[in-house]
Amino acid sequence: MRSWFLLLLPFFLVAGEVETVDYVDLTRYVGKWYEISKFPNRFQRNCNSSVAEYFLNDNGTIRVVNSCETPSGMKTAKAKAWVVDKSTNAKLKVSFFWPFRGNYWILDLGENYEYAVVGEPKRKYLWILSRTPQLDDLTYQKILTRLELMEYDTSLLQPSK
């Protein structure tokens, strides 16, 4: 009986809820962000030097322009994002084409908005972003430590090229 319990135990262990930062000032958040590392995903396959640019629209939505270098040239993807938790501005939805949308949760943010960590509630996607093309190693290591406390598997992170 005990061996059955031990075999089934992993199915009952659920990671805790993903928490976001307390508040995001969207006027400070918009602008250019460089991808430092990410969880691998199908929509960024063969992408290098990824950059995300965010623009605040008059109606409160955010225009998103992602770009990267691929073997066949520059690739650009445009989207629209909107806040779903207005008390924090840290939980957004993003849609690159209707009717599909995804979660965009700001999990960590530098005091001066010099870096951001973006994920989603199922821990399937994760990006570490910086206002500059490189992030100092001490800051990066502190981010990794916080992500591990949030139960993210940081071994999955791939440095951006």
Note every long-range contact of 69-75, with CB atoms under 8 Å and residues 24 or more positions apart, other chains counting. 70/46, 71/46, 75/47
User: What are the respective helix, strand and coil percentages of the chain, to the nearest 5?
Assistant: 20, 40, 40
Please name the fold of domain 30-159: Lipocalin (2.40.128)
CA dist., res. 151 & res. 139, Å (int): 19
Is 11's pLDDT higher than 90? no
What residue segments make up the domains of the chain, in order of their start? 30-159
Residues 158 and 38: beta-carbon distance below 8 Å: yes
CA-based nearest residue to 94, from 50, 129, 52:
52
Averaged pLDDT of the chain? 89
Phi, psi of 107 (to 5 degrees): -90, -30
**pLDDT, tens only, 69-102:** 999 999 999 999 999 999 999 999 999 877 788 8
More confident residue, 117 or 13: 117
Per-residue model confidence as pLDDT tens digits over 33-62: 999 999 988 878 888 899 999 999 999 999
